[in-house]
Amino acid sequence: MRERLRQVRRISVRRILGFGAVLAIIVAASVSGFLVSNSNTDQVTDFGDFDNPNRVEVTAWITKIDTAGQAYSMTVTDVRPFGSLADDSGNFAKDATLFTNAVGNWRDPIKAGDSAPDVEQRMFMTGHVTNYPFDRYQSTMELHVIDGDGTELPTAVTVMNTDLFFQIDTAKATSSSGGTLIRLGIHRSAPTLVFAVFIMVLMLGLSAAAVAAAFYVLHWRRGLIFPACSMMAAILFALIPLRNAVPGSPPIGSIIDFGSFFIAEAIISISLITSVLLGFRHQLSIERTDTTESIDEPGEAHSQTPAAEADDPDTVVPA
C-alpha cells in the first residue's frame, strides 16, 4: 500500500513538473512575441542627408492611421537647422518654408530667428479596408525646405510611428523635384492580426458547438431541450458584440465577416430554428406516446384481473 502511494506521488509530481514546464514555455513564447511586436511597432527610421553639416532636420511623427478615411495623421515637429543655416541661437538664419504633400495644410512658413512650429498634417493613403484583418495600404511622404531665395535646402527626415495597431515599412524613393521622398507600406501589427484571427476561429468554433447541440437534440428525437436552445440563442446574440470587439472597427462586409461572422451567424440560426421547430414536433410525438401508454396501462390491468382471480385457488366464485 505504501509503495503504491509512493508511485502515485511520483506520478503526480511528474505531472505537475511537466505542466509547469509547458506553461513556462508558453509564457516565454508569448513574452518574446510581445518584445518582437513592440520593437516592430515603435519604429524610428532616418532618411535624407544626415552627413551634410549644413542641413535641416525634420521629425515626421505618425500619430493616427484612419483606414476608413484612407488617411493618416502626421505631426511635423522638431524642425531644426544646422551649420550655416542656423543662427547663434539655433534658429533659422533666413526665412524658409516647409512644403509637404499633405492635404490642406501643406505649406508652413518659418521666419528668420524664430523656431519652427509643430504642424499637424493629414496624408492620403491607398488600400482596401474591407480586406481586414489582412488589409494593406500604400502612401508616400515628401518633404521640402526652401529658403527665401527659392533654393532647396538639404533635409534629413526621421519618421516615427506611434500607432500601436499598425506596423509601417519605410523605404527611400527618388524625387524628381528634390527634397526627401519616402514610401510607406502600412499593415496591421502582429497583435492585432493574431487577435482578429483568433476571433474568427472562435466564431467558427462556436458555430460548431451549436451544430453539435442541434445534432444531440434532433438525431435522437429528444424533443424540445430548452438548455440546448438557450445556449444556441445566447451564442447567436453574443457573436455581434464579439465581432465588434476586434480592434480597428472594420466595416460590414470585410473578410472577417465573409470568412467567419456571416457563416457562424447562419449556422447557429439554422441550428436554433431547426432545433425548435423539429424539436417541437418530436415533443408532441413524445407526449402523444406517453398519453397513450398511460391510458393503456389501467385497461390492461383490468382485463388481466378475472384471469388472475380464476387461477387463484383461494378465490371463492359465487354460485
pLDDT in tens, 260-315: 999 999 999 999 999 999 988 888 887 777 677 677 665 554 555 444 445 555 55
Q: What is the pLDDT of residues 2-11, one digit of tens each?
A: 666 565 566 6
The closest of 147, 154, 129 to 56, measured between CA atoms, is 154
- Indicate whether 249 pLDDT > 50: yes
313 is a domain residue: no
Residues 29 and 57 in one domain: no
71 is a domain residue: yes
pLDDT on residue 30: 67
Residues 144 and 229 in one domain: no
Alpha-carbon separation of residue 145 from 87, 108, 149 (angstroms):
17, 10, 11
Residues 19 and 75 in one domain: no
The position carrying cell 524664430 is 114
pLDDT on residue 319: 44
**Model confidence at 1, in pLDDT bands (50, 70, 90)?**
low
152 is a domain residue: yes
Per the structure, the count of domains in the chain is: 3
Residues 22 and 106 in one domain: no
The position carrying cell 476586434 is 246
> What span, in angstroms and rounded, lies between the C-alpha atoms of 248 and 68?
9
* E strand or H helix at 34: helix 2-41
pLDDT on residue 291: 76
> What span, in angstroms and rounded, lies between the C-alpha atoms of 312 and 319?
17
Give the structural domain span for 128: 42-188
Q: What is the pLDDT of residues 61-112, one digit of tens each?
A: 999 999 999 999 999 999 999 999 999 888 999 999 999 999 888 888 999 9
- Indicate whether 215 pLDDT > 90: yes
pLDDT on residue 311: 52
Mean local confidence (pLDDT), 123-142: 95
> What span, in angstroms and rounded, lies between the C-alpha atoms of 248 and 170?
22
pLDDT on residue 241: 94
The position carrying cell 396501462 is 297
pLDDT on residue 308: 46
Residues 21 and 121 in one domain: no
Residues 71 and 169 in one domain: yes
Residues 46 and 36 in one domain: no
pLDDT on residue 299: 52
Residues 178 and 274 in one domain: no
Residues 177 and 63 in one domain: yes
> What span, in angstroms and rounded, lies between the C-alpha atoms of 110 and 33?
44
254 is a domain residue: yes
Residues 177 and 166 in one domain: yes
Residues 202 and 263 in one domain: yes
pLDDT on residue 177: 76
5 burial class (0-12, 13-18, 19+ CB within 10 angstroms)? Answer: exposed
Residues 137 and 49 in one domain: yes
Please state the three-class secondary structure of 121-190 as a single string: EEEECEECHHHCCCCEEEEEEEEEEEECCCCECCEEEEEEECCCCEEEEEEEECCCCCCEEEEEEEEECH
296 is a domain residue: no
7 is a domain residue: no
6 is a domain residue: no
Instruction: Give helix 190-219 / helix 2-41 axis angle, nearest 10°.
Output: 130
141 is a domain residue: yes
Direct distance between the N- and C-terminal alpha carbons of the chain, in angstroms, rounded to an integer = 76
